[in-house]
Amino acid sequence: MKVGFIGLGIMGHPMALNLAKGGHQLFVYGKRTCPAPVKEAGATVCDTLKAIAEQSEVVIIMVPDTPDVADVLFSPEGVVAGLSRGKLVVDMSSISPIETKEFAKKVAEKGCGYVDAPVSGGEVGAKAASLTIMCGGSQKDFDRVNPLFELMGKNITLVGDVGAGQTTKVANQIIVALNIEAVAEALLFASKAGADPAKVRQALMGGFAASRILEVHGERMIKRTFAPGFRIELHQKDLNLALQGARAMGVALPNTATTQELFNAATPLGGKGWDHSGLVQVLEHLAGHKVAEG
C-alpha cells in the first residue's frame, strides 16, 4: 500500500520502519527533521500534510494528544484537505473517545473511512512489532488496514465502532498506572524494611503478584533507568481522559485520581519527562528513602 505516516516520535519512528520493512511505500512529513533510518528505508518526504494524504491510500497518525490530531487533520494544509473518496484515516494516537467520534464524522463527509487504533507496549513493543492494538471502526475498514497492523503488533482486536479503541486504551492506561503505583509502593516498602529490592522482585515474579509491570518497570525502578519509553506527562494526559469521562458518566475512579495526583507531583520534581516508572521517585521523595541507589 501507499501509506502516509505522521508522527515519527519515540514510537512512531519504529512503527513506520516496520511498515517499510513489510514492503509498503511510505509518505512522511518533512516539516521537522525526518529520522535518518526512515529516509534510508525509502520514505518520500512531503512538505505538507495535505500532500501526504493526496499520495496515500491510508494515512496513519501517531501524535501525542487530541489537539495534535485535530491540527493534523483540519489545519488549512492538513490531511482532510488532501483526502479523496475511498481513502482511510487511521489514528493510532491516544486521545479523547468523544473527539474521535467527531473527527470520524468529518472524515466521513469526504467519503473516507476512519479507524481509531491506539496502542500499548511502549518503545520496546514498537521496535519489536509486538504492540497491542485496540481498534474502533467498521469491520470493512478494519479488514482493509489489518495487514498493516500485523506488521506493527501482535494482539490486535476490533473492539467495536469508532471510539471503542480509544475507550479501551483509556481503560488500559488506568490498569497500567495503578500497577506502576502498586509496584513502586511494594518495592519502596521492601527496601525501607531492609530487604534487597532486586531479590524481592525476583521472588514476586514467581508468584501471584507477577506482572509485566513488575518485570519491566520494577527493573527500571531498581536500576534507576528512567529515560522515557512513555513519559509521565503523556500518562497524565491519558488519566485526565479517564477522569473526565468518569465525571461525565457519574462514575467514581478513586485510585485513578490518587495516582494522577502522584503523577502531578512529579512535575515540581522535574519529572514530567521521566518514564512513567519514575513515579517511584515521587513516593521516594515522600518517604525520604530510595528503593535503590543509582
Clarify whether 272 is annotated catalytic.
Answer: no
Amino acid 33: pLDDT = 75
Q: Which residues pair with 115 in a beta bridge?
A: 90
Amino acid 104: pLDDT = 98
Amino acid 215: pLDDT = 97
Q: What is the C-alpha separation between 140 and 55, in angstroms, rounded? A: 22
Question: How far lies 221's CA from each of 145, 256, 258, 277, 279, in Å?
Answer: 37, 21, 20, 7, 9
pLDDT(294) > 90 = no
The DSSP element (H or E) to which 60 belongs, if any, is strand 58-61
* 15-73 confidence digits (pLDDT tens): 999 999 999 999 999 767 788 999 999 999 999 999 999 999 999 999 999 999 999 99
Amino acid 229: pLDDT = 83
pLDDT(126) > 80 = yes
Q: What is the C-alpha separation between 191 and 61, in angstroms, rounded? A: 42
Q: What is the C-alpha separation between 45 and 31, in angstroms, rounded? A: 9
pLDDT(169) > 80 = yes
Contact 79, 59 (CB under 8 A): yes
Catalytic one of 169, 237, 272, 290: 169
